[in-house]
Chain A
Amino acid sequence: MLAPAAARHRRALGGPWAAAVPLLAFFAIGFGLPALAIVTGAFTLSSDAESGAGSFTTANLTDSVQGAYWTALLSSVKLSALTALVGTAIGLPLAQAVVTSRFRLVREAVLTASGVLANFGGLPLAFAFVATLGNAGEVTKLFHLTDHGWSLYSFTGLAVAYLYFLVPLMVLTITPALDGLRRQWREAAANNRATTVQYWRHVALPILLPSLLGGFVLLFGSAFAAYATASAMVGATVPLISRQIADALSGNVLVGQGNLALALSLDMIVVAVLVMAVYLPLQRRSARWLS
Chain B
Amino acid sequence: MAQLINRLRLWRGAVLFVAGLYFLVPMAASVWFSIDSPGGIDFAAYTGLLGAPGFTDALVLTLELAAVTVVVLLALLVPALIAARLGTARMRAVLEVVCTLPLVVPPVALTAGLIGVLRWGPDHLMDTPFFQTIVFIQRPEFPLVLVIAYVLMSLPLAYRALDSGLRAIDVRTLVEAARNCGASWPRAVVTVVLPNLRSALLNASFLTLALVLGEFTAASILGYQPFAVWVYSVGNSQGQMSVAVSVLSLLITWVLLLLLAAAGRERRPAPATS
Contacts and interface: CB of A to CB of B under 8 A. Distances in A.
Interface of A: 8, 12-13, 15-20, 22-24, 26-27, 30-31, 33-38, 41, 47, 90, 93-94, 97-98, 100-101, 106, 110, 112-113, 115-117, 119-125, 127-133, 136-139, 164, 167-168, 196, 221, 224-225, 227-228, 232, 242, 245-246, 249-250, 261-262, 264-266, 268-269, 272-273, 276, 280
B8 to A, nearest CB: 8
B12 A101 contact: yes
Contacts of A242: 106, 108, 217
A142 to B, nearest CB: 9
A164 B221 contact: no
B189 to A, nearest CB: 9
Interface string B31-62: 01110100000000000000000000000000
Given A26-B76, A37-B116, A245-B108, A130 B243 contact: yes
A245 B12 contact: no
A23 B80 contact: yes
B83 A124 contact: no
A19 B189 CA distance: 12
Interface string B78-102: 0110111011100100010010111
A179 to B, nearest CB: 16
B197 to A, nearest CB: 15
Contacts of B257: 112, 115-116, 119
27 contacts: A8-B86, A16-B87, A19-B82, A24-B80, A30-B152, A31-B102, A31-B152, A34-B110, A37-B120, A97-B12, A97-B19, A110-B16, A116-B253, A119-B257, A127-B30, A127-B242, A128-B250, A130-B239, A227-B216, A227-B217, A228-B228, A228-B232, A232-B235, A249-B221, A265-B109, A268-B108, A268-B109
B87 A17 contact: yes
A19 B79 contact: yes
Contact of B84 (A20, A30, A35): A20
B29 A124 contact: no
Interface string B223-262: 0000010011001000100110111011001100110010
Nearest to A276: B104
Given A16-B88, A23-B95, 13 more contacts: A27-B98, A34-B110, A97-B16, A120-B250, A122-B215, A125-B246, A127-B245, A128-B27, A138-B36, A227-B107, A245-B112, A262-B112, A262-B113
Contacts of A112: 257-258, 261
A280 to B, nearest CB: 8
Nearest to B235: A127
A269 B108 contact: no
A38 B239 CA distance: 37
B228 A122 contact: yes
B115 A106 contact: no
A230 to B, nearest CB: 11
B248 to A, nearest CB: 9
A228 B217 contact: yes
Contacts of B221: 246, 249-250
B165 to A, nearest CB: 17
B109 A269 contact: yes
Interface of B: 4, 8, 11-12, 15-16, 19, 22-23, 25-27, 29-30, 32-34, 36, 75-77, 79-80, 82-84, 86-88, 91, 95, 98, 100-117, 119-120, 123, 148, 151-152, 185, 210, 214-217, 220-221, 228, 231-232, 235, 239, 242-243, 245-247, 249-250, 253-254, 257-258, 261
Contacts of A13: 185
A167 B98 CA distance: 28
Nearest to A218: B103
Given A20-B83, A22-B80, A138 B29 contact: yes
A37 B82 contact: no
A37 to B, nearest CB: 3
B70 to A, nearest CB: 15
Contacts of A16: 83-84, 86-88, 91
B26 A128 contact: yes
Nearest to B90: A17
A272 B105 contact: yes
A261 B231 CA distance: 26
A273 B110 CA distance: 14
A121 B119 CA distance: 30
A221 B33 CA distance: 32
B255 to A, nearest CB: 10
B80 A122 contact: no
Nearest to B1: A190
B5 to A, nearest CB: 10
Contact of A34 (B12, B116, B185, B217): B116
